[in-house]
Chains A and B, each alone.
Chain A
Amino acid sequence: MGFFDRGSTELKKAPLTKKVAKLSERVVVSTLFSASSVSVLISAAILYTLIEGSIKFFNFDEVSIWDFLFGSEWIPSGTDPSFGIYPLLSDTILIAGGTILLAGPIGIAAALFLSEYAPSKVRNVAKPVVELLAGIPSIVYGFFALFTIGPIVREIFPEATYFNALQAIIVMTFMVLPIVVSISDDSLKAVPRHMREASLAMGATKWETSIKVVIPAAASGISASVLLGVARAIGETMVVTLAAGSISGGHWNPLMEIQPMTSFIAQTATGDIPPGTPQAEAAFAVGITLFIMTYFVNRIAGRVVLRIKKGSIVKKEPSRVQKFIRKNTIDRIRKPVEITKEMISYRPIRIDRSIKFIDKTKLKGNLIRRKIKGYFGVSTTVLSLVLAFVFLIYLLVEVFIKGAGSISWDFLTSEPGFRVTEASIMPALTGSVFLMLLTLLFAVPLGVGTAVYFNEIAKDTWYTRFLRNVIQNLAGVPSIVFGLVGLAIFVRLFNFGPSLLAGSMTLALMIMPIIVVSSEEALKSVPQSFRDAARGVGATRWQTVRDHVLPNAVPGIITGSILSLSRAIGETAPILFIGAFFAKTAPSGVMDSFVALPLTIFFWSRHAQDEYHEFASGAILVLLVILLIMNAIAIFIRYRSQKRRVW
């Protein structure tokens, strides 16, 4: 026997023409393909829900499309109802506009500080803290707006009503801030260093460089961040429902009660509006308006963000349309520059330095002024960041002070009664846990399957590009719209009723796109060489994924899934139509009705008795602790896997 024994083996004789891919391979791949295609079904469900509901609405005799679009009164109930979208629309614009007017400058300033001035230690702490603001559920913001910011606003503006737009705007500013900060920061960071150096090397101060060179170069990304903030503000439901009131305004007065579109939709879920009336179906028509608005804002912003990711923010290749327009307008008017011989045969002229333009005597005073400007500027950016911190700490401290008193063993575990002393979050707590587990069951396989299909199996075809688009769009759909979809599809069409099953499926629809994105990140972090090595020894696509890619991506996938579940557990709007507002016991089966923590917080916040507001703080405290634990687990997993990572 030689050293290398190449004696007879079965493998050697296997014919090359035989397909290696077995049936199981094909089954797996087509399963993954189907998983990724579910997003199309979800989109179809959204469109079906909104269109079908709107058609029903417009079929009522009292309603006409013309009045809906151009009417100026929104009186959904009463003997002579009137459905003109204008007041809702103007209130939405007031809220979103007001929010971005504050969040835009503050966010951009904070991002400027983080990207240009903060030492890396400060940056590493400050950025996650700002992003923490994004992890707090909107119901908590709503509560804070109503019970903490509200009194302050009424103190300063005595003419402000109990519910008013301003308190919602203030709180939503900080809600939207993380979006503006993190995307602006990314695009500022993407400005190449040589651009800054060019400016500094000419004797510009750092502040001048930031304002006159870095920000203009990052302008497209910054505007995208602002647009995404606008989209988020337009779609925000719980803050406005809790704090801004329920009378549609159209008066453009931030100190008075208003009702944006989202708030109206939420109202149909909570008020006692008889089903089958135009008032109930109006939610779908408003929903489609909201959907279209956010769709377009997100679309525009998404394109810009994509361009930043590809790293071409500075040099813009004009689009085909732009080129066409240019060719037929500007270039026709302006003669092209003719390259003359004189231009090519070139000799620099004699440089004469005796001609001076700069008055050297004024330079010193000028420089002092420029420096002072810079100090002021940088201070503003620091202040913006500090403002975000102060808000976050204030919110947490308030919730803790108000809520800690109501936490007791009974509050957490006993069966609630109808008396004030008998309040308990046991049903909500268990409901939330069940809801989360079921959501996990539906969303994670779908999301991870889609991500694997995209990243490992799919080729770049029109269909996969289409799917990606669909998923990107899904991620921008306002949560209250998912609420409508859950109602129309799961509760009514599938006849699940207002059950845990319907609630968790609705939440799963909402977080699926987030899981896809985070799982894809995890898969992308596995080096291509692993795949090449596996494929090189004859593994099939799926075998490669199963044995080499997935095991290495699992920590990242788990981290992403936990984070998106923590998002789901804090959501109120999607299950507003489905959850019960009062339940005495924990749900016992998937078809049972349920109540969840955010719903309980919402319900108690609107209660007339002050005691319940404290219970709401207690429930918020519990919810925040759960979120904290989930985030801690996610961070721990990420940390451990990064430590163990050997490549």
Chain B
Amino acid sequence: MVFGFLSSGNNKKGKERKKLHDSSGNNGKRSSNDIILKDINIFYSGKQAIKDVDMTIPEKKVTAFIGPSGCGKSTLLRNINRMNDEIVGCTYDGEILWQGTDILEKKVDPVALRRRIGMVFQKPNPFPKTIFDNIAYGPKLLGIRNKKKLKEIVEKSLRDAALWNEVKDRLNDSAMGLSGGQQQRLCIARALAVEPDVILMDEPCSALDPIATAKIEDLINELKKEYTVVIVTHNMQQASRISDFTGFMYLGELIEFGKTRQIFENPKEDLTERYITGRFG
């Protein structure tokens, strides 16, 4: 068992945080495909944004991070594929174990890592290129030049992201002409095109209307059968609808982590309960 004793001595209120992770993992079975965060601290130019976070994100499940704005959910998420490396002044320590490697180690190449741990952002951010070129961008970088093969990849990625029917007749139009929801699914398709194992999503629906949101949520439900999905959301209903596991964060700390059902129906922490019931602050 690696889970039970991961939580460090960060027990300000003397609450029993140690048992936080008992409920996680595939019913206690550990897999090397789980993402295990150990003692993660993240700093922005010396200011601490994340404090001693420990958790295990299980394989092929949806794990949601919830919490009020500025609590560090996105910062933590961005560390999982080392996007924080790109931010000047951002430093971190701790370990993230995945497939037997500490992916925070220097020798791990973030470029290679990011192909396997893809990311979808808050604001749909297609490149100002055609729909086809958006999807083909990643495979092309990986050395695929064969036109036929690229076409197949584009079609499969778009089908998997449930966008194919809507755009199959205008693959050579600019991606900027799509609606917000379509753009976001395009971004998901783009991430799928390089065949990752994990998909990180940073508030993927916050810029979308309810119908587009519903589509993305359906898609996430489908994706989790094949991919590990980690999603940051400020929308608690969304977390409760789509996630299997939920972590509640507050002021850079992971307050509680567990099965979504448990977090929402029977939170162990007072803070969690107050946040979930809306009696916060």
Give the CA-CA distance A202 to B137 in the complex, in Å: 9
Which of A359-367, A491-499, A516-524, A618-626 is found at the contact surface with chain B? A359-367
Q: Kindly list chain B residues whose C-beta atoms are within 8 Å of the C-beta of A119.
A: 88
Task: State whether A351 touches B226 (Cβ < 8 A).
Answer: yes
A16 interface residue per 8 A CB criterion: no
Give the CA-CA distance A217 to B126 in the complex, in Å: 11
Within the complex, the shortest CB–CB distance from B51 to chain A, in Å, comes to: 25
Q: Kindly list chain A residues whose C-beta atoms are within 8 Å of the C-beta of B143.
A: 362, 366
Q: A202-B194, A351-B225 are in contact. Are A358 and B141 (CB under 8 A)?
A: no
The chain A residue with its CB closest to the CB of B190 is A202
A8 interface residue per 8 A CB criterion: no
B2 interface residue per 8 A CB criterion: no
Q: Kindly list chain B residues whose C-beta atoms are within 8 Å of the C-beta of A349.
A: 159-160, 162
Q: Kindly list chain A residues whose C-beta atoms are within 8 Å of the C-beta of B271.
A: none
B234 interface residue per 8 A CB criterion: no
The chain A residue with its CB closest to the CB of B176 is A315
B17 interface residue per 8 A CB criterion: no
B218 interface residue per 8 A CB criterion: yes
Q: Kindly list chain B residues whose C-beta atoms are within 8 Å of the C-beta of A120.
A: 88
Within the complex, the shortest CB–CB distance from B268 to chain A, in Å, comes to: 34
Nearest 3 A/B pairs, CB to CB: A203-B115, A201-B119, A348-B162
The chain A residue with its CB closest to the CB of B81 is A201
Contacting residues of chain A (112-135) with chain B, CB-CB under 8 angstroms = 119-120
Within the complex, the shortest CB–CB distance from A222 to chain B, in Å, comes to: 14
Give the CA-CA distance A340 to B165 in the complex, in Å: 9
Give the CA-CA distance A195 to B113 in the complex, in Å: 19
Contacting residues of chain B (197-256) with chain A, CB-CB under 8 angstroms = 215, 218-219, 222-223, 225-226
Name A194's contact: one of B123, B191, B215, B225 (CB within 8 Å): B123
Task: State whether B114 touches A203 (Cβ < 8 A).
Answer: yes
Within the complex, the shortest CB–CB distance from B265 to chain A, in Å, comes to: 28
Task: State whether A197 touches B83 (Cβ < 8 A).
Answer: yes
Give the CA-CA distance A195 to B187 in the complex, in Å: 11
Q: Kindly list chain B residues whose C-beta atoms are within 8 Å of the C-beta of A195.
A: 125, 127-128
Task: State whether A358 touches B144 (Cβ < 8 A).
Answer: yes
Give the CA-CA distance A197 to B166 in the complex, in Å: 26
The chain B residue with its CB closest to the CB of A191 is B128
Which of B22-30, B93-101, B149-157 is found at the contact surface with chain A? B149-157
Q: Kindly list chain B residues whose C-beta atoms are within 8 Å of the C-beta of A350.
A: 222
A357 interface residue per 8 A CB criterion: yes
Give the CA-CA distance A119 to B89 in the complex, in Å: 11
Task: State whether A367 touches B125 (Cβ < 8 A).
Answer: no
Give the CA-CA distance A371 to B112 in the complex, in Å: 11
Q: Kindly list chain A residues whose C-beta atoms are within 8 Å of the C-beta of B83.
A: 197, 200-201
Within the complex, the shortest CB–CB distance from B180 to chain A, in Å, comes to: 13
The chain B residue with its CB closest to the CB of A335 is B169
Task: State whether A194 touches B109 (Cβ < 8 A).
Answer: no
- The size class of the interface chain B forms with chain A is 35 or more
Task: State whether B194 touches A358 (Cβ < 8 A).
Answer: yes
The chain B residue with its CB closest to the CB of A204 is B141
Task: State whether B123 touches A203 (Cβ < 8 A).
Answer: no
Interface centre among A203, A340, A363, by most chain B C-beta atoms within 10 angstroms, is A203
Task: State whether A357 touches B121 (Cβ < 8 A).
Answer: no
Q: Kindly list chain A residues whose C-beta atoms are within 8 Å of the C-beta of B170.
A: 337
Q: Kindly list chain B residues whose C-beta atoms are within 8 Å of the C-beta of A372.
A: none
Name B152's contact: one of A197, A340, A357 (CB within 8 Å): A357
Task: State whether B139 touches A358 (Cβ < 8 A).
Answer: yes
Task: State whether B86 touches A358 (Cβ < 8 A).
Answer: no
Q: A314-B176, A346-B218 are in contact. Are A204 and B153 (CB under 8 A)?
A: no
Q: Kindly list chain A residues whose C-beta atoms are within 8 Å of the C-beta of B109.
A: 367
Task: State whether A366 touches B142 (Cβ < 8 A).
Answer: yes
Q: Kindly list chain B residues whose C-beta atoms are within 8 Å of the C-beta of A340.
A: 165
The chain B residue with its CB closest to the CB of A337 is B169
Q: A197-B86, A357-B139, A358-B139 are in contact. Are A202 and B222 (CB under 8 A)?
A: no
- Secondary structure class of chain B's binding surface, majority of residues: helix
Q: Kindly list chain B residues whose C-beta atoms are within 8 Å of the C-beta of A366.
A: 142-143
B68 interface residue per 8 A CB criterion: no
Q: Kindly list chain A residues whose C-beta atoms are within 8 Å of the C-beta of B142.
A: 203, 358, 363, 366
Contacting residues of chain B (50-97) with chain A, CB-CB under 8 angstroms = 81, 83, 86, 88
B118 interface residue per 8 A CB criterion: yes
Within the complex, the shortest CB–CB distance from A210 to chain B, in Å, comes to: 13
A356 interface residue per 8 A CB criterion: yes
Contacting residues of chain A (152-208) with chain B, CB-CB under 8 angstroms = 192, 194-205, 208
Task: State whether A357 touches B153 (Cβ < 8 A).
Answer: yes
Q: Kindly list chain B residues whose C-beta atoms are within 8 Å of the C-beta of A371.
A: 111
Interface centre among B111, B123, B169, B176, by most chain A C-beta atoms within 10 angstroms, is B111
B129 interface residue per 8 A CB criterion: yes
Task: State whether B121 touches A194 (Cβ < 8 A).
Answer: yes
Give the CA-CA distance A348 to B188 in the complex, in Å: 13
Name B218's contact: one of A208, A337, A348 (CB within 8 Å): A348
Q: Kindly list chain B residues whose C-beta atoms are within 8 Å of the C-beta of A362.
A: 143
List, sorted by A's number, 12 A–B pairs whose CB atoms are closer than 8 Å. A198-B126, A203-B111, A208-B141, A315-B176, A343-B166, A346-B162, A348-B161, A348-B222, A349-B162, A358-B139, A358-B144, A367-B109
Give the CA-CA distance A212 to B218 in the complex, in Å: 32
Contacting residues of chain A (319-360) with chain B, CB-CB under 8 angstroms = 337, 340, 342-343, 346-351, 353, 355-358
Q: Kindly list chain A residues whose C-beta atoms are within 8 Å of the C-beta of B81.
A: 201
Within the complex, the shortest CB–CB distance from B220 to chain A, in Å, comes to: 9
Q: Kindly list chain A residues whose C-beta atoms are within 8 Å of the C-beta of B169.
A: 337
The chain B residue with its CB closest to the CB of A219 is B128
The chain B residue with its CB closest to the CB of A200 is B86
Q: Kindly list chain A residues whose C-beta atoms are within 8 Å of the C-beta of B267.
A: none
Give the CA-CA distance A589 to B39 in the complex, in Å: 80
Q: Kindly list chain B residues whose C-beta atoms are within 8 Å of the C-beta of A203.
A: 111-116, 118, 138, 141-142, 194
Name A205's contact: one of B111, B152, B215 (CB within 8 Å): B111
Q: A213-B127, A355-B156 are in contact. Are A202 and B88 (CB under 8 A)?
A: no
Give the CA-CA distance A615 to B31 in the complex, in Å: 81
Q: Kindly list chain B residues whose C-beta atoms are within 8 Å of the C-beta of A351.
A: 160, 222-223, 225-226
Give the CA-CA distance A349 to B195 in the complex, in Å: 17
Within the complex, the shortest CB–CB distance from B112 to chain A, in Å, comes to: 6
Task: State whether B226 touches A353 (Cβ < 8 A).
Answer: yes
Q: Kindly list chain A residues whose C-beta atoms are within 8 Å of the C-beta of B115.
A: 202-203, 363
Q: Kindly list chain A residues whose C-beta atoms are within 8 Å of the C-beta of B225.
A: 351
Name A348's contact: one of B111, B129, B160, B187 (CB within 8 Å): B160
Complex interface bits, B102-122 against A, C-beta within 8 A gives 1, otherwise 0: 000000010111111011010
Known: A196-B86, A347-B162. 10 other contacts (CB 8 A): A197-B125, A199-B137, A203-B115, A208-B141, A315-B128, A337-B166, A348-B219, A351-B223, A353-B226, A367-B109
